Amino acid sequence: MRYILVLVYFLVVIMACDKPISENPVVPFEETYGGALVDYAAEAVALNGDIYMVGTSKSLQASSGGLALTKIDASGNLLFEKSYGGTVLDAGTNICKTSDDNLLLLGITSLPTGSGTQVDVFLLKVTANGDTLWTKTYGSPSQFDVAEGLLETSNGEILILGSAYNGSTNDLKLLRLDAQGNLLWERIYNSPYNDEGINIESAKNDQYILLGRRQDGDDDFYAMKIDDQGNTLWENTYGTPQYEQAHSISRTSDGNFLLCGHSSGLDPLHNLYLTKITTDGLVLFEKHYGGTKHDGGTSAIELSNGNLLVVGETDSYGNGSKRAFFLETDETGTLIEELSFGGDLSDKFSAIVEMDAAYYLIGESASFSTAGTADMYVVKRKNQ
């Protein structure tokens, strides 16, 4: 574990930041969580004043890796860490809080079969203490089933977005479940391209934006708006004639959407790429950020003050290794602050949570692990 006090300004500058920083940076803590093996966080939410991180842990389930849930308080104190799943391989991909103050955990689970291993979508509902209320799996014995997108609808039902293999390429696959995880319907969106489902955000009137990756000669961000029955209202791709890879979607207070990932459109080594679209799919702006090496985005949100926070990974700023990347912009995407965090090994942010006039940058770090393997990694900063 590694803890940096806000008063040690000199140490923060030397060890955490390689770009110019604000005059009085506030870092209440920088902490890692995990054991001797690989542990990392994929997504996180705030609930009742605490932070819940979902990911994968081999330290808790060493034989294979388990879907992991780690709870910390606002000061970074570990409240619990738990692992869920079987004996082959389980991994966590997403988390959301529910209207009854519980949590949905999404991931994959594996089962041995006579011909190898079957991989299914894995969904759990747990209490704020991590106690399991129910578990469900979804998939076909003849398919490799994965999902990253998760959302509770306004009436308490559940949407899961993943991918389905059609024999030659992948198509987006959407499941709608009742509040107990029972399947109401599923929809596969066939196309001649290779499409991968990433995540879901709600629009008005029980309509939703699905975010994916599309390979159609080059690779692009792919978005689709659907109604409550899964019918397509519009679809569009975003990016340059070069390679783009999407990683996140989030809704802003004006009813529009931030799409985040990376792009080789301006730099063959990739920049962090952020675009904002309307609920009708029109582009409001698109921005590229980073340096002369690889930079990629994993998540973007709007803060309560209207600024935008974007996180990911960078090779451009640091000590010759991948570092966790953070930037803050105004509402138009104009850069305010750009920082890298981490050490001399491999570090990355994958999620952002804002809570109580502070935000938490969440992901993984090998730099501060005594074993040299990834641990869950959290940096807390005060809103400026």
Three-class SS state of 337: strand
Residue of 9 and 263 predicted with greater confidence: 263
What is the predicted pLDDT for the residue at 117? 66
> What is the average pLDDT across 15-24?
37
pLDDT, tens only, 344-366? 888 999 999 999 999 999 999 99
For 233-281, the pLDDT digits (tens) are 999 999 988 888 999 999 999 999 999 999 887 878 888 999 999 999 9
Coil, helix or strand for 378?
strand
pLDDT(8) > 50? no
What's the confidence (pLDDT) of residue 201? 97
| Res 7: pLDDT | 28
Q: What number is the average pLDDT over the span 367-384?
A: 86
Locate the domains of the chain by residue range.
1-33+239-384, 34-152
pLDDT of residue 63: 64
Q: Which of 381, 379, 348, 377 is nearest to 34 (CA)?
A: 377
What is the rounded CA–CA span in Å between residue 360 and residue 338? Answer: 16
What per-residue confidence (pLDDT) applies to 151? 98
The predicted structure's pLDDT at residue 106: 97
Architecture in CATH of 1-33+239-384 = Beta Barrel (2.40)
- Percent of residues, the chain, with pLDDT higher than 70: 89
pLDDT at position 15: 35
pLDDT at position 378 is 96
Annotate 200-269 with DSSP letters as a single string.
EEE-STT-EEEEEEEESSSEEEEEEEE-TT--EEEEEEES-SS-EEEEEEEE-TTS-EEEEEEE-SS-TT
75 has pLDDT over 80: yes
Three-state secondary-structure class, residue 12 = helix
Question: For residue 124, is pLDDT > 60?
Answer: yes
Instruction: Give me the pLDDT at residue 178, please.
Output: 98
Q: What is the pLDDT of residue 48?
A: 96
Decide: 139 and 163 in contact? Cβ < 8 Å. Answer: no
Q: Tell me the pLDDT of the chain averaged across its residues.
A: 87
**Helix/strand/coil for 373:** coil
Determine the pLDDT at residue 11. 29
Least confidently predicted of 157-161, 179-183, 365-369: 365-369
Closest C-alpha among 175, 280, 279 to residue 230: 175
Q: Which residue has the tokens 């920083």?
A: 21
Q: What three-state secondary structure class fits 16? A: helix
Rounded CA separation 271/297 (Å): 8
Q: Is residue 25 pLDDT above 60, yes or no?
A: no
Q: What is the pLDDT of residue 31?
A: 93
Which whole number is the average pLDDT over 106-120? 76
Say what the pLDDT of residue 379 is: 96
Q: Tell me which of 20-34, 51-65, 166-180 is least confident.
A: 20-34
Task: Please give the residue that has the higher pLDDT: either 38 or 47.
Answer: 47
Query: Do 299 and 312 touch, CB atoms closer than 8 A?
Result: yes
Instruction: Tally helices (H) and strands (E) across the chain.
Output: 1, 28
- The token pair that represents 237 in the structure block: 């791709």
**3-state SS assignment for residue 66:** strand
The model's confidence at residue 200, banded by pLDDT at 50, 70 and 90, is very high
Q: In the prediction, which pLDDT does 294 show?
A: 87
The pLDDT-based confidence of 371 (bands split at 50, 70, 90) is confident
**Cα separation, 38 vs 87, whole angstroms:** 16
The Cα–Cα gap between 350 and 28 comes to 20
Residue type, 27: V
Q: Which of 27-36, 55-64, 90-99, 375-384 has the lowest mean pLDDT?
A: 55-64
Locus of tokens 């977005």: 161
- What is the pLDDT confidence band of residue 204, given thresholds at 50, 70 and 90? confident
Asked if residue 12 has pLDDT above 60, the reply is: no
Q: What angle do CA 353, 350, 6 make, to 5 degrees?
A: 55
Q: 114: pLDDT confidence band, cut at 50, 70 and 90?
A: low
Q: Check residue 137 and give its pLDDT.
A: 92
As a whole number, mean pLDDT of residues 323-338 equals 95
